[in-house]
Amino acid sequence: MMEELKTQIKYESNRAARLSKEAIEAFEDNNKIQGKALMNEARAASKNCQNLIKQFNDVSVSIEQS
């Protein structure tokens, strides 16, 4: 379970960074609609990453208390 969470955290983190970079590029190309959509996706990926990190920490604490 811990390794699966680590893998998911890495995936969502990379996804958020990639989408954010693509959003910035879209804004620089004056494509505000695409940039906004990409930034919303990046924000969602970041939120997913934060939730996964919280899960990981909760599992770690649970294991330590066992």
**What per-residue confidence (pLDDT) applies to 63?**
82
- Structure confidence by residue, pLDDT tens digits, 32-62: 999 999 999 999 999 999 999 999 999 888 8
In a domain, 65, yes or no: no
Distances (CA, A) of 9 to 15, 21, 23, 65: 10, 18, 21, 23
Write down the pTM of the prediction.
0.88
- pLDDT attached to residue 6: 96
Domain assignment of residue 66, yes or no: no
* Amino acid letter for position 29: D
Q: What is the pLDDT of residue 32?
A: 97
Tell whether 48 is covered by a domain.
yes
Domain-located, residue 14: yes
- Residue 42 within a domain: yes
Domain-embedded: residue 41: yes
User: Is residue 12 in some structural domain?
Assistant: yes
Q: Which residues span the domain enclosing 22?
A: 2-60
Per-residue pLDDT at 66 exceeds 80 = no
Report the C-alpha gap between 2 and 34 in whole angstroms. Answer: 35
Condensed to tens digits (0 to 9), the pLDDT of residues 7-40 reads: 999 999 999 999 999 999 999 999 999 999 999 9
- Count the domains in the chain: 1
- Asked whether residue 29 is domain-assigned, the answer is yes
The rounded distance, in Å, linking the Cα atoms of 48 and 2 is 16
Please check whether residue 19 is in contact with residue 34, taking contact to mean a CB–CB distance below 8 angstroms. no
Amino acid in position 56: F
